[in-house]
């Protein structure tokens, strides 16, 4: 796990050049993966306003009062779905892998990106994500390959964001949202494009979920401290109350942690009875009162979740449900921050 921590630290803010992948990765890997995706082509977007995709979906209870806004954009970077442990085809996913693309679309795009479809128009680029094993290299040779894999993945995300800015944004304010590996890349995207940059004025908020966020890494971007703060970062990593992973113990900083029920720095503990709705195994069903939210020294704790069959849920690491435990709360908060952004900017 120590290797994992330091690898994440290196990858997140490395000073690698955009062709760092080509410098580090074996030639056969370069040839197999081919060229950088062409983001002018709709096939390279997992979610896009100009096509029907799972990010447009709503759980059935929300359909009656469905609404959406075209005043803001959401740039969403999905988590690792390249999980094949039997015969992985390389350190990075191929975008021609139809089965993997479908899996991505009907896991994170459906269950996470859809949270934001009331707040704005969703753009989620396909990218050559690093294989899950890249987070736990076994030796120094694998570490170099893992670094190269993350570098390639970030290069795609950055290229997609640059294309989005040039061709789709048209000056609209932006929500950045991500999870897990997506947050590994988004931390760097925020540093390069927003922190102490003119584009910071267009940032509604960044929901950078599932990874540690060192507040010292940013000169200007800060943690969101109220439910309607804008131009700031929301982040949390969810574990069962009382559990602290070893790698968190070794962290030399207290990560940004936002309470995804109160959204307030001054209200760090919220009972599950205040949690209006989670979306778990069945996307069409909203389950109230599933999880508490307790800020604890750089992580988010919750008591054992309450839902049908939860007695079978043995893990203390709730990473996979970081968004879904708090689905309705995140959904409403994104809308509230969009409204706050426009109210603030209309009076300036």
Is residue 147 a contact partner of residue 12, using CB atoms and an 8 Å limit? no
Q: Name 74's Cβ contacts closer than 8 Å, sequence gap at least 6.
A: 113, 116, 117, 119, 120, 121, 122, 123, 174, 175, 176, 177, 334
**What does the pLDDT read at residue 1?**
38
pTM for the structure as a whole:
0.91
DSSP characters over 197-243: SGGGGGEEEEEEESS---GGG-SS--B--STT--SEEE---EEETT-
Which stretch of 17-21, 200-204, 309-313 has the lowest confidence by average pLDDT? Answer: 17-21
**What residues make up the domain containing 129?**
2-346
How far is residue 274's CA from residue 293's CA, in Å, rounded to a whole number?
Answer: 10
Q: How confident is the model at residue 346 (pLDDT cuts 50, 70, 90)?
A: confident
Q: How confident is the model at residue 35 (pLDDT cuts 50, 70, 90)?
A: low
pLDDT, tens digit (0-9, with 9 covering 90-100), for 194-236: 999 999 999 999 999 999 999 999 999 999 999 999 999 999 9
Question: Across residues 96-125, what is the average pLDDT?
Answer: 97
How many folded domains does the chain comprise? 1
How many Å separate Cα 31 from the centre of its chain? 29
Coil, strand or helix at 44: helix
**What does the pLDDT read at residue 304?**
93
């Amino acid at each position: 796990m120590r290797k994992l921590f330091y690898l994440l630290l290196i990858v997140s803010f490395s000073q690698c050049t955009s062709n760092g992948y080509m410098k580090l990765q074996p030639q056969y890997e370069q040839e197999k993966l081919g060229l950088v995706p062409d983001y002018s082509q709709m096939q390279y977007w997992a979610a896009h306003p100009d096509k029907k995709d799972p990010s447009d979906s709503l759980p059935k209870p929300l359909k009656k009062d469905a609404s959406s806004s075209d005043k803001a954009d959401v740039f969403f970077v999905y988590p690792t779905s390249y999980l094949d442990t039997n015969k992985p085809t390389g350190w990075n996913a191929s975008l021609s892998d139809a089965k993997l693309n479908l899996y991505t679309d009907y896991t994170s795009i459906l269950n996470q990106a859809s949270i934001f479809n009331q707040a704005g128009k969703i753009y989620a680029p396909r990218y050559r994500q690093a294989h899950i094993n890249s987070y736990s290299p076994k030796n120094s040779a694998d570490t170099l390959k893992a670094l190269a894999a993350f570098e390639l993945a970030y290069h795609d995300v950055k290229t997609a964001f640059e294309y989005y800015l040039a061709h789709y944004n048209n000056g609209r304010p932006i929500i950045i949202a991500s999870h897990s590996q997506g947050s590994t890349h988004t931390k760097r995207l925020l540093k390069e494009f927003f922190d102490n940059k003119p584009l910071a004025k267009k940032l509604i908020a960044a929901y950078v979920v599932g990874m540690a966020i060192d507040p010292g890494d940013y000169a200007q971007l800060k943690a969101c401290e109220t439910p309607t703060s804008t131009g700031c970062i929301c982040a949390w990593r969810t574990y069962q109350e009382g559990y602290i992973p070893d790698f968190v113990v070794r962290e030399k900083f207290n990560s940004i942690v936002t309470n995804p029920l109160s959204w307030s720095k001054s209200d760090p503990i919220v009972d599950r009875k205040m949690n209006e709705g989670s979306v778990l195994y069945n996307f069409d069903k909203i389950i109230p009162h599933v999880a508490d939210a307790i800020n604890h020294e750089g992580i988010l704790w919750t008591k054992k979740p309450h839902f049908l069959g939860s007695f079978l849920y043995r893990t203390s690491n709730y990473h996979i449900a970081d968004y879904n435990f708090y689905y309705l709360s995140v959904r409403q908060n994104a809308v509230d921050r969009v409204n706050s952004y426009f109210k603030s900017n209309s009076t300036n």
